[in-house]
Amino acid sequence: MALRITVIGTGYLGATHAAAMAELGFEVLGLDVVPEKIEMLSAGKVPMYEPGLEEILRKHVAGIEGSTGRLRFTTSWEEAGAFGDVHFVCVNTPQKHGEYACDMSYVDSAFESLAPQLTRPALVVGKSTVPVGSAARLAERLAELAPAGADVELAWNPEFLREGFAVDDTLHPDRIVVGVRSERAEKLLREVYAGPVGEGSPFVVTDFPTAELVKTSANSFLATKISFINAMAEVCEAADGDVVKLAEALGHDERIGKKFLRAGVGFGGGCLPKDIRAFMARAGELGADQALTFLREVDSINMRRRGHMVELAREAVGGGSFLGKRVAVLGASFKPDSDDVRDSPALNVAGQIHLQGGQVTVFDPKGMDNARRLFPTLGYADTALDAVRGADVVLHLTEWREFRELDVEALGEVAGRRIVLDGRNALDPAVWRAAGWTYRAMGRPKA
């Protein structure tokens, strides 16, 4: 009989994973402790903006006309325990309040709730990003709590999906990494991932700590690459060089590669910032903190970019105070094709200027609801044109395609002054300058 799969937690990772598993042909049960999420998902609606996700969800959710019916949702741990042969734990591990370490309470409580329901053989697979050593600890907890005893096993299978590409990254991953302690666990995971592996995704088998570390070190590498190019942007600004050309030229060296060399206001989101901090915290606990001191610099270069954008904006409005100045902010989400505003550089910059007395108006194609909830005191507009109306300076902080396609003539007619600061190096300077705008970007010559 085909494997039955449960997915615990239905956030970005879990909702996508559940839909993708149904797409691969499995019977899937998704569980979340928030009843409203379960109601939405059961009605075929996704609680966040993620291109393509709602389509595959609706293709499989039971009760939707024409669906395969392979995907259902529940809030019942008992039902999940009885249903699954393989249980994927996909809950969040956010940064702890006021600390570098991540908060393991959602992972821990998922294991505490699921394990007592495991009365028959099952494989529990952790996908959440956790401090190295967590899998070994959770395996012990499973052994203590699961009624089926040794028939219940743990594996660790980190997830590398990017928001905005979540569906594609899940169905066609760059690699599948599994940390296992038995052949049986490996065999089950090979069965689960037979589809993507058949289409060429490499399948890397290793132990628990290495599997956990692949995720945190991958994110650290990506963060380092971004901060490296942003450090070069600082030097370019000092030396009148052009970081965009520099990145292009560096990227031709295949050992370096073109990707993740976009300089600007830096990285944000629910993963990179908190993952590098949690990694440093964990290395400290292990007595290996010296190995990761460079990540402190990566973090601080990144945070400095936001402050630098505030200073560029201050200069653009005449220096000194922002009082009485109108600042248009294009972008709220931490990156395009996402409505996620967690640790968003755009909103951080907007918030700093607002606190310094500037009159800030934000527009984002998808992130407005989340931004309004998190930053209720900022001003918001329904269109880019309205945000720019009367503005003394326009800040481009999230590189949505729609901002590259703006009618810059029309914007110029409503703007107070035609000054645009490109915090993502994504706009075409020639187009803006031709329409009479002063265009300035991070890490590029002024003129």
The site for ligand UDX (CB under 6 A) is made up of 159-163, 219, 222, 226, 260-262, 264, 266-269, 271-272, 334-335
Least distance CB 253 / ligand UDX (angstroms)? 16
Least distance CB 76 / ligand UDX (angstroms)? 29
Amino acid at 440: R
Cβ of 291: how many Cβ atoms within 10 Å? Answer: 12
Judging by beta carbons within 10 Å of its beta carbon (0-12, 13-18, 19+), is residue 351 exposed, middle or buried?
A: buried
Separation between Cα atoms, residue 341 and residue 281, nearest integer Å: 24
Structure tokens at 447: 């003129």
Least distance CB 269 / ligand UDX (angstroms)? 4
Are residues 441 and 429 in contact, defined by beta-carbon separation less than 8 angstroms? yes
Structure tokens at 16: 């996508």
Least distance CB 172 / ligand UDX (angstroms)? 14
Separation between Cα atoms, residue 89 and residue 154, nearest integer Å: 11
Separation between Cα atoms, residue 388 and residue 411, nearest integer Å: 7
Amino acid at 403: F
The DSSP bridge partners found for residue 380 are: 362
Structure tokens at 133: 């050593």
Q: Up-side HSE of residue 220: CA atoms within 13 Å toward CB?
A: 20
Q: Looking up tokens 């505003």, which residue turns up?
A: 341
The one catalytic residue among 90, 102, 236, 271: 271
- The residue among 85 and 159 lying less far from ligand UDX, judged by its C-beta, is 159
Least distance CB 160 / ligand UDX (angstroms)? 4
- The residue among 82 and 250 lying less far from ligand UDX, judged by its C-beta, is 250
**Whose CA is closest to 421, among 400, 394, 386?**
394
The question of whether 90 is a catalytic residue gets the answer: no
What three-state secondary structure class fits 78?
helix
- The residue among 272 and 312 lying less far from ligand UDX, judged by its C-beta, is 272
Q: Looking up tokens 């409505």, which residue turns up?
A: 339
- The residue among 267 and 375 lying less far from ligand UDX, judged by its C-beta, is 267
- The residue among 196 and 269 lying less far from ligand UDX, judged by its C-beta, is 269
Least distance CB 135 / ligand UDX (angstroms)? 17
- The residue among 163 and 392 lying less far from ligand UDX, judged by its C-beta, is 163
Residues marked active site are found at 271
